[in-house]
Chain A
Amino acid sequence: MSANSASISASSAGPKKSLKTFGDDIWKNKTAKINAELFTLTYGSIVSQLCTDFERDFKKVNSQLYAMGYNIGVRLIEDFLARTALPRCDSLAQTSEVISKCAFKIFLNVTPQVGNWSNNKDAFSLFLDENPLSDFVELPMDAAKELWYSNILCGVLRGALEMVQMDCDVWFVNDVLRGGQSTEMRVKLNRIMKDEIPAGED
């Protein structure tokens, strides 16, 4: 672990331990688990069903997956905060560490690499070395050009970050399933939203 992230975790109020051990610990001791392959197969079945439903219009499939992810994200953040009780992040750098070392670890048991920061530090990439969604998967020719198979993850991140007042764009830049060298997700912070009191019902 780099000195950089060590200093981040030191400043992240709650846990004294590094975020990585923190995430590992929650995964090991506080998380109910289920077979990852059932997860993979279920997701595969969802995607293939969507492809049929939209008559192989992969742009629509992408956006539908994104929408599903968004729905998940806005709920998932609640679960995440309840499990980790992490405080608000001070910087996007810290957010990225939390996402990769805690969020991905706790839910999917993988730790993507963070990298490829933009010059003004408002965008970064997550490199998914292993992706539990896409084991076993091989895209058909026509899908390999347009379908972002794991697009649901983008929606999840977007939804979850939005619920902690970060308006972000999340998209896939590259995917090994499409013949790329790595699976890369890009997260770009647009703005920090103000805490707004929701409009009253009356």
Chain B
Amino acid sequence: MLTEAWNFPKSFTFLLLKLQRASAKHNNTNLVLYRMSHKIINPSTSVAPANAAGSTGYDYTIGPQQTLPNTSAQSVASTLAGTRSVYHESLHPGAHGSHVSVAAYAFLFQEMVSQARNASKTVSEIELRLHRHGYHIGLRLLELLKFRSSVTPGSGRSFFHKAGGPAAATAGDAASGAGNASGAVGASGASSLGNAQDESLASNITTMKRRDLRLLEVLQFVHGPVWRYLFDRASDDLVKSSERENEYMIIDNTPSITRFISSTNVQCDFFVCGIIEGVLDLASFPCTVTAHSVPEDKFNRRVVFVIRFDQEVLEREALRF
């Protein structure tokens, strides 16, 4: 029980650091989605969160604080408690599968582009903004997909039962990936925490799915599961550049979300670039992704996403581990 109690916070801290790093990169720490819950890391010793009432800023024991000057920490907690169920349901693999119409998405996307256009002076700034939108989605997507594919139907006992809803929420998100969790039924004893009737999602997770460590694995992950999740099909090709060592290309013959956009002055596919980069960045494969329109005979909207990995990735890749 003791080991488990510590198991989780450790990985969480890791995630927290990653997210901060990622956010810092884009100078945007405002996370409306998946906001970090305050209650996760609760060391048994130090100050109770209540003492932090009225403080603003960062408290290393409980993470970033969003308390307003005049609000007590209790009310933060009560607000959180009220919305906890959000995560219980939405993180379940079964939650994925609903659809909205492409028209609705196209309208929304169009507004996003025009919003970006109004706020920018140059074309590259527009693209940067779209990229940033996508980037924040990518960060969440990696977590979501990996988390969901870790859920094995049926048996299992609480993995981070104690942390309950918010834990699951922060730890991730995930949608059906292709290869479902290789049901390595993680051992760990049977010290059941708390009440058994709590039907939390956590009880279906025995082992979190292993993250992709090799370059090709993670690219396959983007090419397969991520694409399937986003666009209901794998991307059309995954190619390694013959000229440059650190360059890979993902090819989409019929990009779905920009299909109604005729102008080629602004490359709206930078939104997807952002998603790819977010996923790869959070997976510790820092890179830059750019989109290039390369029409071919049958596919006049064909887009090539060029992924340039940072040098450190190649160096690490060259190591044997």
Contacts and interface: CB of A to CB of B under 8 A. Distances in A.
The answer to whether A and B come from one shared complex is yes
Contacts, number: 150
A185 interface: no
A76 B106 CA distance: 10
A71 B118 CA distance: 14
A179 to B, nearest CB: 5
Contacts of A176: 83
11 contacts: A34-B99, A36-B98, A41-B141, A45-B133, A49-B28, A50-B115, A106-B101, A109-B98, A137-B32, A138-B80, A179-B82
Given A35-B229, A42-B133, A142 B68 contact: yes
Interface in A25-55: 27, 31-39, 41-53
Contacts of A36: 98-100
Nearest to A76: B107
A35 B109 contact: no
Contacts of B115: 46, 49-50, 68
A71 B76 CA distance: 36
Contacts of A47: 32
Given A68-B115, A137-B33, A41 B137 contact: yes
Given A48-B136, A71-B111, A137-B33, A32 B101 contact: yes
A46 B28 contact: no
B6 interface: no
Interface size class on chain B is 35 or more
Interface size class on chain A is 35 or more
A33 B86 contact: no
B101 A34 contact: yes
B229 A49 contact: no
Interface in B76-108: 76, 79-80, 82-83, 86-87, 90, 95-96, 98-105, 107-108
Interface string B167-195: 00100010100000000000000000000
Nearest to A143: B32
Nearest to A105: B101
Contact of B105 (A39, A45, A179): A39
B278 to A, nearest CB: 10
Interface of B: 28, 30-35, 66-68, 71, 75-76, 79-80, 82-83, 86-87, 90, 95-96, 98-105, 107-112, 114-115, 119, 129, 132-134, 136-137, 140-141, 144, 169, 173, 175, 229-232, 256-257
Contact of B133 (A33, A35, A49, A179): A49
B66 A140 contact: yes
Given A72-B107, A141-B67, A48 B100 contact: no
Contacts of A31: 101-103
A49 to B, nearest CB: 6
Contact of A107 (B90, B103, B169): B103
Contacts of B95: 135
A38 B230 contact: yes
Contacts of A164: none
Contacts of B231: 34-35
Contacts of B32: 44, 47-48, 51, 137, 139-140, 143
B109 A42 contact: yes
B140 A144 contact: no
Nearest to B112: A46
Contacts of B68: 141-142
A129 interface: no
Contacts of B83: 138, 176-177, 179
Task: Give the 10 A-B CB pairs with smallest separation, nearest first.
Answer: A33-B99, A48-B32, A32-B102, A107-B104, A44-B33, A36-B98, A68-B111, A72-B107, A45-B133, A41-B137
